[in-house]
Amino acid sequence: MRWTTLSVVVLLAVAGCSGGESAVPGGAPPSAIDRLLAKAPVATAIPAGSAMARIKDRGELLIGGSLDAPLLSQQNPGTGELTGFDADLGKLLAKYIIGEPKTKLVTSTSETREPLLANGTVDVILQTYTITPQRAERVAFAGPYYSSGQAIAVRRGTTGIAKPADLAGRKVIAGANTPAIAAIKAAAPTAEIVEFGSDPECLTALRQGRGEAYVQDQALLIADAAQDGELEVVGEPFTTDPYGIGLKHGDEQFKQFVNDWLREIQKSGLWQDVWRDSIGTVVKGDPPTPPVIGSAQGS
Amino acid sequence: MSHLPDLVGGFLTTLALVALSAAGAFALGVVVVVLRVGPLRVLRAVGTGYVETFQNIPLLVWLVLFVFGLPEVGVRFPLFTTAVVVISLYEAAYVAEALRSGVNTVAQGQGEAARALGLTFGQTLRHVVVPQAARRVVQPLGNIGIALTMNTSLAAVAGVVELTASANRVNLVEALPIPIFVGAGLCYALLAAGIGGLAGVLERRLAT
Amino acid sequence: MMFDPPGPRGRRRSRIASAVAVVVVLALVLVAVRRFDAAGQLEVAKWRPFLTWPVWRYLLTGLWATVLAAAMIFLLAAVAGLALAFGRMSSFPWPFKAYIEVVRTIPVLLLIYVVLFVLPAYGLDLPLFWKLVLPLAVSHAAQFAEVFRAGVLAVDRGQGEAGASLGLTHAQNMRLVVLPQAVRHVLPSLVSQTVGLLKDTALGYVVSYLELLQSGRVLANFNHLLIQTFLVVGLVYLVVNASLSKLARHLEARGARSAR
């Protein structure tokens, strides 16, 4: 088949001759993380034999997280750089322990996080990891470092959906394996949940009328609505999800260490700066008051 | 297990997916193979292009393209229907190839003899080729049926909650992976065994 | 050939039919493209990113990961498949037959879920690469076994008997007489098996192994161009697999020539 060869040639030509152009449009602006890293703190004392000492000796912090969570931990396919709130915190934590922001991301999923921590594949999990007492039986949670919540989005002009109870009996779109599914079941048990694999798929499905509402983390929905005029976020978040930094179960020393660091960056205003550079690019107003460390049940 | 009804519902959805897609794939596969062995060069090219395109792109890509792409060209089916259409289109390429190799096993001289008797292309197919090829294609078609059954597990991408998806969902709630996934596996094995058995019976019938 | 070379009237009729077919196909394509355009999916801004090198570098990195996974699956499945095939043709065939028949009737996705959910519950959490490769290798080994067995069975029985009458041992007979001929028989189906295996690596999205399809998803998540990204990803699969199939036909043709 001649066209096969032809298309390879065209493909390579296209790929080759447009090398200089800039990256992909439509993503978040590049994070100003370098500026923040310059003034980020470094731990004064690392106790010998601790998890932190091992990380420092290795010279790299191994983080379990996502590549495709907008505003939180998203890879820019153009540069390979990881940006977002979680990603930036990871770099700051790496600098705090090692003295340099050296991190390596291991993609984890909601099912694999606990074994990844238990068998030492990763040092920390930074992945919208909601602190719950049940999970705390298997994982140590530092934090909460951020408090988020699930919200509802609809196509502009949709009527009759103003609060979670209105979802009852309707088709509701949610991301597969996201906390939204449990939240919908709790708020409106009769809602029919239609799951799709990723945020753009859910958005496209909502636009094409596969469901009447879309439940997702509020910050993400605000970011989506900023790009798509047809999308409307209804009301305030109807859940409170305190995100924690997952650590190996039972490592009180590391947990204490990470909590001290969180308190330090909250006090110095670094936490607020990270928020402004990520979530704050779409959510209007001043940074929220950071959650009190240890305030969530299970942390 | 309070979630047994969910699993049963998933199994029934899988059953419906398999039955409808198999029927669709067979009907479409027959059309494609007639195009491919027929006298019109343009149609032969269309048939070849069809088979090449569908066999060389993963079913997952087709599912996403059809679920999210079709509404953009103004065609909007329910998700279940979309899944049936995509699986039918995809497996039809394999059905067509199996039928074609069945047709090719019928000796060339037979076709020529039929022509010498003055039979048309359609008559040759119906009276000479199909009766001989039928028995030889039953087993390959059975294998495609089994592969199709396995492939319906991908319909979850299209938002269809079939057996695998419902097993996954129930597992997230109940956290009993072993009984749930082994049970789902047994259901698939049962379906596959059914298809294999059917193919065996059919083959023996056609042998006489 | 099941049809006569057409006469003058037949030629005219087939020309008309061809023209009608071309018009119908073109009209369908045109309507689809115009509707696609009307939905705003053909806007230049939505396609321009795919003319930039960073996007292609990202997708080609994904393709490389796909190729790596496919190569490893091929290696494992081919070796295991060969062993299974000979096992099934030995005097003690049933465990091998059982493996082949059972594995053939379990969806790969379900096997992936087992690796994803069941094994970690026992503290065994494989690296992403192996979470994809292992279940696919387990599944394709059964299919490779059937391909190899069909190849050996296709070698004329007289060949093996002739080898035996020359005083070759069973192993020698296999290695020198049967296998070289069987390989030629199985080459084409081996390649189409490989195409199937390469397509199956698209399941990498389930374990978030960053192969071509998962790269496409991450890309779509970033640029919000879902349909365009998947069209491009589909095209890359088509080019790669069509090239493989072409190789298969080439080998088939060469095999047929040298067999004569």
Whether residue C234 and residue B65 make contact (CB cut-off 8 A), yes or no, is yes
Q: Which residue has the higher pLDDT, C254 or A206?
A: A206
Chain A, residues 91-150, CB within 8 A of chain C, namely 106-109, 111-112, 114-116, 118-119, 121
pLDDT, residue C257, reads: 63
Does residue A57 share a domain with residue A154?
A: no
Sign of the Cα torsion C86, C89, C94, C100 reads positive
Does residue A57 share a domain with residue A201?
A: no
pLDDT(B134) > 90? no
Q: Which residue has the higher pLDDT, C70 or B132?
A: C70
Whether residue B68 and residue A1 make contact (CB cut-off 8 A), yes or no, is no
pLDDT, residue C182, reads: 81
Q: What is the pLDDT of residues A49-77, one digit of tens each?
A: 889 999 999 999 999 998 888 888 888 88
Q: Which of A20, A197, A227 sits opposite C224 (nearest CB)?
A: A227
Q: At what angle do helices C226-259 and C53-88 cross, to 10 degrees?
A: 40
Whether residue A24 and residue C54 make contact (CB cut-off 8 A), yes or no, is yes
A194 three-class SS: strand
Give every CB contact of residue B179 below 8 A, 6+ residues apart in sequence: B1
Q: Which of A8, A9, A24 to mutate to test the interface with C (most CBs of C within 10 A)?
A: A24
**Domain assignment present for A208:** yes
Residue of C nearest to A4 (CA): C239
pLDDT, residue A96, reads: 93
Q: Which residue has the higher pLDDT, A77 or B172?
A: A77
Give me Rg for the CA atoms of chain A.
Answer: 21
- How sure is the predictor about C140, in pLDDT bands with cuts at 50, 70 and 90? very high
Q: Give the long-range contacts of residues C72-79, CB within 8 A, separation 24 or more.
A: C72/C129, C72/C133, C72/C137, C73/C133, C73/C136, C73/C137, C73/C140, C73/C197, C73/C200, C73/C201, C74/C140, C74/C194, C74/C197, C76/C133, C76/C137, C76/C141, C77/C136, C77/C137, C77/C140, C77/C141, C77/C143, C77/C144, C77/C197, C78/C144
From chain B, pick out residues whose CB is under 8 angstroms from the CB of C245.
52, 55-56
Does residue A182 share a domain with residue A225?
A: yes
pLDDT, residue B128, reads: 84
Closest-CA distance, B69 to chain C, in angstroms, reads 6
**Cβ pair A116, A109 in contact under 8 A:** no
Overall average pLDDT of the C177-187 stretch: 81
> What percentage of chain C exceeds 70 in pLDDT?
95
Does residue A141 share a domain with residue A41?
A: yes
Does residue A186 share a domain with residue A209?
A: yes
* Overall pTM > 0.80: yes
pLDDT(A284) > 90? no
From chain C, pick out residues whose CB is under 8 angstroms from the CB of A7.
235, 239
Whether residue B189 and residue C102 make contact (CB cut-off 8 A), yes or no, is yes
pLDDT, residue B126, reads: 83
pLDDT, residue A8, reads: 47
Give every CB contact of residue A217 below 8 A, 6+ residues apart in sequence: A128, A148, A149, A150, A151, A178, A179, A180, A241
Range of the domain at B62: 4-207
Cα-based angle A264, A295, A61 (whole degrees, multiple of 5)? 50
Q: Which of B46, B150, B178 sits opposite C107 (nearest CB)?
A: B150
Overall average pLDDT of the C206-220 stretch: 89
Closest-CA distance, B58 to chain C, in angstroms, reads 5
Does residue A201 share a domain with residue A77?
A: no
Q: What is the pLDDT of residues B92-133, one digit of tens each?
A: 999 999 999 888 887 778 878 888 888 888 888 888 888 888
Residue of B nearest to A178 (CA): B172
Whether residue A14 and residue C51 make contact (CB cut-off 8 A), yes or no, is yes
Instruction: List the A124-125 sheet strands across, edge first.
Output: A103-107, A61-65, A124-125, A241-248, A139-148
pLDDT, residue A27, reads: 43
pLDDT(A179) > 90? no
Q: What is the pLDDT of residues A159-173, one digit of tens each?
A: 889 889 999 999 999
pLDDT(A245) > 60? yes
Domain tally, chain A: 2
Q: Which residue has the higher pLDDT, C154 or B63?
A: B63
User: Within an 8 Å CB–CB cutoff, is residue A204 touching chain B?
Assistant: yes
Cis peptide before A25 (omega within 30 of 0): no
pLDDT, residue C70, reads: 95
Q: Which of A204, A206, A214 to mutate to test the interface with B (most CBs of B within 10 A)?
A: A204
Whether residue A116 and residue C116 make contact (CB cut-off 8 A), yes or no, is no
pLDDT(A47) > 50? yes
Q: Tell me, what CATH number does A132's domain have?
A: 3.40.190.10
pLDDT, residue C4, reads: 64
What is the number of other CB atoms lying within 10 angstroms of the CB of residue A220? Answer: 24
Q: Which of A194, A197, A208 sits opposite B157 (nearest CB)?
A: A197
Closest-CA distance, B101 to chain C, in angstroms, reads 13
Q: Which of B3, B61, B68 to mutate to test the interface with A (most CBs of A within 10 A)?
A: B68
- How sure is the predictor about A9, in pLDDT bands with cuts at 50, 70 and 90? very low
pLDDT, residue B113, reads: 86
User: Within an 8 Å CB–CB cutoff, is residue C217 touching chain A?
Assistant: yes
From chain C, pick out residues whose CB is under 8 angstroms from the CB of A199.
221
Whether residue A200 and residue C224 make contact (CB cut-off 8 A), yes or no, is yes
Q: Provide ipTM, 2 decimals.
A: 0.87
Closest-CA distance, C17 to chain B, in angstroms, reads 8
- How sure is the predictor about B1, in pLDDT bands with cuts at 50, 70 and 90? low
Does residue A253 share a domain with residue A221?
A: no
Chains contacting chain B through 3 or more C-beta pairs under 8 A: A, C
Closest-CA distance, A124 to chain C, in angstroms, reads 16
Q: What is the pLDDT of residues A94-133, one digit of tens each?
A: 999 998 899 999 888 777 788 888 878 899 999 988 898 8
Q: Tell me, what CATH number does B57's domain have?
A: 1.10.3720.10
pLDDT, residue A22, reads: 38
Whether residue A24 and residue C222 make contact (CB cut-off 8 A), yes or no, is yes
Environment class of C50 (CB within 10 Å of its CB; exposed 0-12, middle 13-18, buried 19+)? buried
Q: Which of B64, B157, B159 sits opposite A210 (nearest CB)?
A: B159
pLDDT(B141) > 60? yes
- How sure is the predictor about A43, in pLDDT bands with cuts at 50, 70 and 90? confident
User: Within an 8 Å CB–CB cutoff, is residue C21 touching chain B?
Assistant: yes
Chain A, residues 64-83, CB within 8 A of chain C, namely 67-68, 70, 74-80
CATH class of C56-259: mainly alpha
Whether residue C125 and residue A115 make contact (CB cut-off 8 A), yes or no, is yes
pLDDT(C255) > 70? no
User: Within an 8 Å CB–CB cutoff, is residue C154 touching chain B?
Assistant: no
Q: What is the C-alpha separation between A88 and C219, in angstroms, rounded?
A: 20
Tell me which amino acid residue A2 is.
R
Q: What H or E segment, with its residue span, contains residue C249? A: helix C226-259
Q: What is the pLDDT of residues C12-28, one digit of tens each?
A: 888 888 888 889 989 99
pLDDT(C71) > 60? yes
**Cβ pair C87, C148 in contact under 8 A:** no
**Cβ pair A124, A247 in contact under 8 A:** yes
From chain A, pick out residues whose CB is under 8 angstroms from the CB of C128.
106-107
User: Within an 8 Å CB–CB cutoff, is residue C47 touching chain A?
Assistant: no
Does residue A250 share a domain with residue A188?
A: no
Q: Which of A8, A177, A208 to mutate to test the interface with B (most CBs of B within 10 A)?
A: A208
How many CB pairs below 8 Å do chains B and C form together? Answer: 141
List the end-to-end C-alpha distance of chain A, in Å, as a whole number. 62
- How sure is the predictor about C3, in pLDDT bands with cuts at 50, 70 and 90? low
User: Within an 8 Å CB–CB cutoff, is residue C207 touching chain A?
Assistant: yes
User: Within an 8 Å CB–CB cutoff, is residue C51 touching chain A?
Assistant: yes
Q: What is the pLDDT of residues A248-280, one digit of tens each?
A: 999 999 999 999 999 999 999 999 999 998 888
Range of the domain at A249: 33-148+242-281
Q: What is the C-alpha separation between A113 and A122, in angstroms, rounded?
A: 9
Whether residue C118 and residue B177 make contact (CB cut-off 8 A), yes or no, is yes
pLDDT, residue A119, reads: 79
pLDDT(A10) > 70? no
Whether residue B52 and residue A177 make contact (CB cut-off 8 A), yes or no, is no
CA distances from C56 to A68, C66, C71, C238 (A): 18, 15, 22, 16
pLDDT, residue A220, reads: 84
Does residue A190 share a domain with residue A52?
A: no
pLDDT(A21) > 50? no
Q: Which of B60, B164, B181 sits opposite C202 (nearest CB)?
A: B60
pLDDT(A174) > 90? yes
Does residue A178 share a domain with residue A264?
A: no
Q: What is the pLDDT of residues C110-139, one digit of tens each?
A: 899 888 878 877 777 788 899 999 999 999
Does residue A144 share a domain with residue A72?
A: yes
From chain B, pick out residues whose CB is under 8 angstroms from the CB of A208.
68, 71-72, 76
Overall average pLDDT of the A37-46 stretch: 87
Whether residue C219 and residue A77 make contact (CB cut-off 8 A), yes or no, is yes
Does residue A54 share a domain with residue A116?
A: yes
DSSP track, A81-144: -EESHHHHHHHHHHHHHHSS--EEEEE--TTTHHHHHHTTS-SEE-SS-B--TTGGGTEEEEEE
Q: What is the C-alpha separation between B26 and C16, in angstroms, rounded?
A: 29
